Every structure is written in C-alpha cells, then in structure tokens.
Amino acid sequence: MIESKPVRVRFAPSPTGYLHVGGARTAIYNYLFAKAAGATFYLRIEDTDRKRYNEDALNDLLRDLKWLGLDWDEGPYFQSERLEIYGKAAQQLIDSGKAYYCFCTEERLQTLEHGYDRHCRDLPLDEAQKRIEAGEKFVIRFKSPPDGITKFNDLIRGEIETPNKDLDDLVLLKRDKFPTYHLASVVDDHYMQTSHVLRGDEWISSTPKHVLLYNAFGWEVPFFCHLPVILAPGGGKLSKRKGAASVGDFRDLGYLPHALVNFLSLLGWSPGDDREVMSLEEMIKAFSLERIHPKAVAFDEKKLEWMNGMHIRLLPDSFFAEELKKLYPNETDEGKFLKVAALLKPRLKFTNELLAMSKYFFERPEKCEDGKAYAKYWTEQSPEHIGLVSKELEKIEDFNIKNIEAAFMKVCEDSEVKLGSLAQPVRLAISGVGAGPGLWEILECLGKDECIFRLRRVN
C-alpha cells in the first residue's frame, strides 16, 4: 500500500534554531526514501512564526543540510512567500461554513481554562463581516466536529484514533494574516503533492487535526509516518546541556558528515541484516519505511565515535592528502602529503585531529611538547644514545624502513642499550611527542637530512 501513489516527500524545518540531530534524522529518512523510490525530495522552509524567525538559523540550516550531503531536488520554498495561498484556503473554508471568524481578545482567551470555548463559532457571517469592516481584529478558526472520532493510519504505528471532542477549534489564520503551522502545512502538502509525511513523533498529536482539515477541503490525505523519539544516553531529551546535539556541534568535533548520516539513519531503522557501516548507496538500496520501528532510541555517542573511525578508514588516503595540502600550502613535496596521510589515517578518530597529528611532518618542533612523555622516557643518557643513532643513520645510503631498522638494531647490539630506551628519545627529538605512527615510517617519511638535522640539535 505504501507505494500506491507517486512518492514525493519533503523536509520542512522551521528556521528557529540549529539543525538538531532529530531534524537531521527526519531529513535523512525523507532523502533515503525519495532516492530509494527514484522520487523527489523537496525542501520547504516553514517560516510563518515571525516572532521566532532567525535569519542566521536559516543560513546554518542550509549549510548543515549541504554538509550532510542531503541535496534537495526542489526548493527551498518559503511559506512566508505564500501568504496569499493560505489566505485563499482559509477563505474557502469560511465560504463552505467549515471555518469562522473569531474576535476574541487575548485577554478573554487568557481567562479560558480548557482551550477555546467556541464563543464566536455561531456568529452570523454578516455580523462578522460588519465587525471586520469596522476594523476589528480577528483570527480564522476551524470548525472542529464536536463528536465522532478521527482516524488515520500511521505507517509505523498502525491505526490511531482520536475522539473529536479532544480537538480544539484551532486557529488557521492569525491576526497578522500569517497562517498557523497547521494550515500552512496541510495546504502546502496538498498543493506541493506530498505523498508521504515523514516527521518526528512530536507532531503525532497534530495529525488528527490535519486529517480533519484535509477532509474539510475535500483533499486526499497523504500517508503519515511518525519517527521515533531520540533520547539522550541516560534517558530524557537530547539537549546541548547533555553534550553535542546539533549537526554543527558534530561538525566542529571533527565528525565526517557521512559517518553522522550513517549513524543517524540507524536511529529508528535497520537494513534488516547486521550491516551497520554503510555507504549512502547501500543505505538507499536497503531503505524502506517498513523497517522503521516506533520505539524510542538512545543516542549513543560512543557508537558514533566508533562509526566515525570506520568511515575514516574507508576513505582513500588521497582524501586526507588533500586535507593536508590545505593545512600546509607552503609544502612543495607533493608526494609527502600522501605518505603522511597513509601514516595518520589508521590513527585518526576525528578529522580535526589531523593538524595536531601531522604538524611535525611539515614543521620542525621547537622542543619536546609532550612533557609527560619527556619525563617518562628522557634520561641523562638520551643525548648520547641519540648521537649514536644519528651516526649510524648517516651511513645509510638508501634511507628506507629496512635500513633504518637495521641501524637501530646495530646501535642496540654495539652499545647494549634496549631498543625502547633508544627509540623513545629519538621519537621525542624527531617529533616532539611521545606517540604516533611507527618510528621507522616517520623517519623514512622525513628523509635522511631532516632526521639528522633534528637529531643533531639535541647534542
């Protein structure tokens, strides 16, 4: 039944804050669903709440979606540019007797305890017209049926029934002539031909109201699919206070966009086998609404970290070589970028570690920067040991890993020093830090002259 009409889906964020991981997951599911169906994924900006509108948020949102690689096929459409359409739609419901003008003041509404009391519902239309002409302020409200039930079939949760007596006469058009979310959402999903509404489950209580609106207009109701809540690791809502919560936060922490997309795609969905690390193509191929479950899911940042590492390993060395090139534009030895990239890739957990981890390959360390490692490994004999190594390295003609290793072994044997007490001080003198890729590899990458230069500085 799901694919019974042409698929066309949307992501419809309100630009009021940052793109939260929950919103990103909604965008990802819409994107994957559209791509899997060879259908259109469009972007609609729900900017009708002028009090909460924030221009920066809009720019950040577009940037974050692009960064995630969720390119939309159409839009962005802005609701604030479609006021005329919503006005006409509201008028259509007035004309058919399914909506009414309400003149109740804020003060009056504030005295009501259980929602709106339908005070203006039976006001004759000509009387209402006169009051409007006299300049009275009004809103347009929906005439919600007082009894009966409204049903809809959520694709993940099954049939959901709501007694109509629980539904308010909701406002469709506000005093400022801007539509409410409900009116704009229904009108747009109709005219923009949305086939499936995939959205966070905080909207599930709005859906019966939307269904009533579709019926009042005489429009076909789209399919609904409410996505499970994402919880913080210890339970409760995911929030900035409990750690990173927005796409921008994770970008700043050095996560790869694709790792984040992959991780978020699994919060509520699974491909049906034990695959976890997937390319976008694999996700698209495996995606189906049937495999989304309704249970709340916990956001496990440790798992995201692991997944990021997996995706880093899957990227070609050339990706990191390009990143290095940006970090060290003055380096002339092109081949070095690729060599360093290959050495660092297996050790990277986050892309933004690249700068700190690669520095000594491109710039001579001033002094040992790693106080802890220095205290642990540096001894009175270290300068002497380094002198011996330096002499032995100088003799090498072909400065490769095998010969470098042999040189160290020779010093160990000749002077009866353990490799550890030789290699660690050399590492400190060469790189300034106590950990990194294999020492022979580092030395080979730096080249003989540079190694000798750095070792000689010690004595």
Residue 22 Cβ, how far from ligand GLU at the closest point, in Å? Answer: 9
Query: For ligand GLU, which is the closer residue by CB, 9 or 368?
Result: 9
Residue 53 Cβ, how far from ligand GLU at the closest point, in Å? Answer: 12
Residue 4 and residue 189: Cα distance in Å, rounded? 17
Question: Interaction with ligand GLU in 151-180: which residues (CB under 6 A)?
Answer: none
- Picking from 374, 369, 370, 417, the residue whose alpha carbon sits closest to that of residue 392 is 417
Residue 382 and residue 365: Cα distance in Å, rounded? 18
Query: For ligand GLU, which is the closer residue by CB, 78 or 203?
Result: 203
Do the beta carbons of residue 30 and residue 10 sit within 8 Å? yes
Question: Interaction with ligand GLU in 3-62: which residues (CB under 6 A)?
Answer: 12-14, 46
Instruction: Judge whether 177 counts as a catalytic residue.
Output: no
Q: Is the peptide bond before 76 cis (omega within 30 degrees of 0)?
A: yes
Of residues 177, 240, 349, 376, which has the active-site annotation?
A: 240
- Picking from 33, 1, 19, 18, the residue whose alpha carbon sits closest to that of residue 10 is 33
Tell me how far CA of residue 36 lies from CA of 23, 133, 174, 273, 282, in angstroms.
Answer: 20, 53, 39, 18, 10
Residue 121 and residue 55: Cα distance in Å, rounded? 37
Query: For ligand GLU, which is the closer residue by CB, 13 or 309?
Result: 13
Query: For ligand GLU, which is the closer residue by CB, 24 or 102?
Result: 24
Residue 425 and residue 402: Cα distance in Å, rounded? 20
Q: Is 434 in the site for ligand GLU (CB under 6 A)?
A: no
Residue 257 and residue 409: Cα distance in Å, rounded? 44
Residue 199 Cβ, how far from ligand GLU at the closest point, in Å? Answer: 3
Q: Count how many Cα atoms sit within 13 Å of the Cα of residue 222 in the half-sphere of its side chain.
A: 25
Q: What is the DSSP letter of 246?
A: B
Q: Are strands 40-45 and 74-78 parallel, antiparallel or unpaired?
A: parallel
Look at the alpha carbons of 375, 376, 380, 384 in this order and tell me if their dihedral is positive or negative: negative
Query: For ligand GLU, which is the closer residue by CB, 25 or 199?
Result: 199
Kindly state the number of chain residues that form the binding site for ligand GLU, as judged by CB under 6 A: 7
Query: For ligand GLU, which is the closer residue by CB, 185 or 382?
Result: 185
Residue 97 and residue 141: Cα distance in Å, rounded? 11
Of 150, 185, 246, 262, the one binding ligand GLU (CB under 6 A) is 185
- Picking from 456, 457, 439, the residue whose alpha carbon sits closest to that of residue 388 is 456
Of 199, 209, 345, 385, the one binding ligand GLU (CB under 6 A) is 199
Question: Interaction with ligand GLU in 246-285: which residues (CB under 6 A)?
Answer: none
Residue 23 Cβ, how far from ligand GLU at the closest point, in Å? Answer: 7
Of 203, 217, 219, 306, the one binding ligand GLU (CB under 6 A) is 203
Query: For ligand GLU, which is the closer residue by CB, 32 or 340?
Result: 32
Residue 454 and residue 168: Cα distance in Å, rounded? 77
Residue 203 Cβ, how far from ligand GLU at the closest point, in Å? Answer: 5
User: Where are any strands of DSSP class E within 249-405?
Assistant: 297-298
Q: What is the DSSP letter of 356?
A: H
Query: For ligand GLU, which is the closer residue by CB, 40 or 424?
Result: 40
Residue 44 Cβ, how far from ligand GLU at the closest point, in Å? Answer: 8
Residue 130 Cβ, how far from ligand GLU at the closest point, in Å? Answer: 36
**In a 10 Å sphere around its CB, with 0-12 CB exposed, 13-18 middle and 19+ buried, how is residue 112 labelled?**
exposed
Residue 97 Cβ, how far from ligand GLU at the closest point, in Å? Answer: 27
* Residues designated catalytic: 240
| Residue numbers at the binding site for ligand GLU (CB under 6 A) | 12-14, 46, 185, 199, 203
